Amino acid sequence: MFSIGDLSRRTGVKVPTIRYYEQMGLVAAPERSEGNQRRYGRQELERLAFIRHARDLGFAVEDIRSLIELSGHPEQPCCHADRIAEEQLISVREKIAQLKRLEAELERIASCCDGKTVGDCYVIRALSDHALCADEHG
């Protein structure tokens, strides 16, 4: 059995986050010791590691809930899990594209500045006037 602190150290998930996952129903409410401390087993450790890895990959809590539900039915086809992963991949690719647009715009406005004072600074002017931006990046 693990205390909440042990669980936190072993999984890298902070104690308040573990409590949050309990409240959200992602991790079962633990047994309590005679001193009323939370006591977790190997199953909760594995579940929390699963959640942590899914969160590291950017999955939303509701998607994680669905994946946990699916994992409880190993005989079922995995097409739903595949769809959830594919949707996350699409989302990540959209974020990457957005970050590339931001990178290009930041590089452009930083390199356009030839002012010697803040009053002549292109960066300050571009931030004040969106029309000076090369394209839509928001």
* 47 lies in the same domain as 88: no
Q: What is the pLDDT of residues 113-136, one digit of tens each?
A: 777 888 888 888 888 888 877 777
Could you tell me if 13 and 7 are in contact, meaning their C-beta atoms sit under 8 angstroms apart? yes
* 107 lies in the same domain as 137: yes
* 81 lies in the same domain as 134: yes
Q: Report how far residue 115's alpha carbon sits from residue 76's, in angstroms, rounded to the nearest whole number.
A: 64
For residue 13, with 0-12 CB atoms within 10 Å meaning exposed, 13-18 middle and 19 or more buried, which class applies?
buried
Q: Which residue in 138, 113, 135 sits closest to 124, CA to CA?
A: 113
Q: What is the pLDDT of residues 95-110, one digit of tens each?
A: 999 999 999 999 988 8
Whether 67 maps to a domain, the answer reads no
Structural domain of 10: 1-57
What pTM did the predictor assign? 0.78
| Domain containing residue 17: CATH number | 1.10.1660.10
Report the DSSP beta bridge partners of residue 38.
Answer: 32
Confidence class of residue 70 from pLDDT cuts 50, 70 and 90?
Answer: very high
* 81 lies in the same domain as 45: no
Whether 65 maps to a domain, the answer reads no
For residue 66, with 0-12 CB atoms within 10 Å meaning exposed, 13-18 middle and 19 or more buried, which class applies?
middle
Tokens of 104: 């290009």
Q: Which pLDDT does position 138 carry in this prediction?
A: 64
Instruction: State the total domains in the chain.
Output: 2
Mean predicted confidence (pLDDT) in 38-50 = 92
